[in-house]
Amino acid sequence: MMAAKYAYISVPPGQVEFIFDQNPGREYNASMMYDYMRKLKEWQFCENLDPKLGFSSQKGSVGIQTSDLFARESMKYVDSQIGPIRRRMRGSLNALRETKRFRIGVMDRQQIMLLETRCKQLGESLKGGKMSDYYRWLEHIGCTDSTSARIRYFSEIDRLNQS
């Protein structure tokens, strides 16, 4: 979401292309979620997502290797800030940071709990937003609970709340 926002505020505005690590067990759901976000017209930045979603192996993509490096270095940095031993920023993370193309976002337990509460309140304020509505819908379509079913249900909630 933040990448699409940055593409929106860039001069000139552009689109951001996403390339994920190949993982047959996750590609279907990632594609469904990406497609849902691209079609969510009430979201200000939906037009800033590139029409295609890519998948690549780590060996075939410098971008995947860089994102893995950034994720690992970010984890080590946060651990060094909240863990028992304080350490200075590692050289590889500092090099990535100096490019001004990377940013670490950290949420503490209190922020996550607040976000969870707000999401529940928002969900329950929408038609079809209660878990009991979702389970009735699953039964109606003869489907079991899964990530892809939940993504499909987002579209159902959108449809119910259009009026």
**CA 150 to centroid of chain Cα atoms:** 15
Q: For residue 156, is pLDDT > 70?
A: yes
Backbone angles phi, psi at 20, to 5 degrees: -105, 155
Residue 163: the pLDDT is 63
Q: Enumerate the domain spans of the chain.
A: 1-56, 61-106, 109-163
Beta-bridge partners for 56: 21
Tell me the C-alpha distance between 6 and 124, whole Å: 30
- Could you tell me the two tokens for 148? 């892809």
Tell me the C-alpha distance between 51 and 64, whole Å: 19
How does pLDDT run across 86-105, given as a tens digit for each residue?
Answer: 888 899 899 988 998 888 88
Residue 161: the pLDDT is 87
Distances (CA, A) of 33 to 27, 41, 87, 102, 152: 10, 14, 37, 23, 9
- Percentage, residues of the chain above pLDDT 90: 44
| pTM to 2 decimal places | 0.70
- Most confident of the ranges 64-78, 83-97, 132-146: 132-146
How does pLDDT run across 22-53, given as a tens digit for each residue?
Answer: 888 889 999 999 999 998 888 899 999 999 99
Mean pLDDT of 142-155: 92
Residue 57: the pLDDT is 82
What is the rounded average pLDDT for all residues in the chain? Answer: 89
Mean pLDDT of 100-114: 89
pLDDT band at 136 (very low <50, low <70, confident <90, very high): very high
- Could you tell me the two tokens for 129? 């937003």
Mean pLDDT of 103-131: 89
Give the residue from 153, 130, 129, 127 showing the smallest Cα distance to 140.
Answer: 153
How does pLDDT run across 49-61, given as a tens digit for each residue?
Answer: 999 999 988 777 8
